[in-house]
């Protein structure tokens, strides 16, 4: 099952568990001290694709849900009851402990199917723009991340993030034109 919206989770174990259950992109908050950059990424995801907040059914999870909802209005919510999020052999509670079926059930009421986008950016375009495999690739990726508000990425993450936020080929070209012009002006 492919989920159109970007799912906001607490950490990488939640991401791994979600991606075992469904085909989805996630943004990790890294706990309840959510920084401005993460909130901006969630805001962009909401504008482009919509957001589903799927945090642990505990106090920190609810705090994260509240912070994100307050800063990014219009998010959808997926909830998992505590009894379905308990670890088998310890006292931990979290999305990462839920079964595949329970995760799918929690998402069933909030997901929308998405068509495969024919306009997706391909890896060879990143090579052509000098965003991977070139001497100034890292610097260009950092500038691109700032212009498009998708954050700092390595080469592997960039392609995924561009497509996750549904950045069009035209938006990428405009941003690259700006970067190339800035590079010319520096000389």
| The Cα angle at residue 11 between residues 122 and 133, in degrees rounded to 5 | 30
Q: What is the pLDDT of residue 141?
A: 94
Q: What is the pLDDT of residue 20?
A: 95
Q: What is the pLDDT of residue 112?
A: 42
CA-nearest of 98, 82, 81, 103 to 7 is 103
Q: What is the pLDDT of residue 68?
A: 94
For the chain (187 residues), the mean pLDDT of every run of 10, in chain order, is: 94 95 95 91 96 92 91 89 79 88 86 52 92 93 88 85 84 94 88
Domain boundaries, the chain: 6-108, 123-186
The domain 6-108 having CATH identifier 3.90.950.20: the answer here is: no
User: How many Cα atoms occupy the beta-carbon half-sphere of 186 within 13 Å?
Assistant: 6
Q: What is the pLDDT of residue 7?
A: 97
Q: What is the pLDDT of residue 1?
A: 85
Q: What is the pLDDT of residue 113?
A: 41
CA-nearest of 10, 22, 20 to 57 is 10
Q: What is the pLDDT of residue 132?
A: 94
Helix spans in 51-122 (H): 59-71, 100-108
């Amino acid at each position: 099952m492919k989920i159109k919206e970007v799912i906001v989770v607490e950490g990488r174990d939640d991401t791994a568990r979600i991606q075992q259950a469904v085909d989805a992109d996630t943004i990790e908050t890294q706990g309840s001290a959510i920084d401005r950059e993460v909130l901006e990424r969630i805001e962009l995801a909401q504008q482009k694709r919509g957001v589903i907040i799927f945090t642990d059914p505990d106090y920190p999870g609810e705090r994260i849900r509240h912070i994100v909802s307050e800063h990014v209005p219009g998010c959808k919510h997926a909830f998992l009851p505590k009894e379905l999020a308990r670890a088998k052999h310890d006292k931990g509670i979290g999305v990462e402990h839920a079964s595949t079926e329970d995760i799918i059930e929690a998402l069933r009421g909030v997901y929308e199917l998405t068509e495969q986008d024919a306009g997706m950016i391909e890896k060879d375009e990143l090579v052509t723009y000098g965003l991977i495999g070139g001497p100034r690739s890292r610097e260009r990726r950092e500038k691109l991340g700032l212009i498009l508000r998708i954050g700092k990425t390595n080469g592997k993450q960039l392609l995924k993030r561009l497509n996750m936020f549904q950045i069009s080929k035209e938006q990428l070209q405009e941003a690259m034109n700006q970067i190339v012009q800035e590079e010319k002006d520096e000389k």
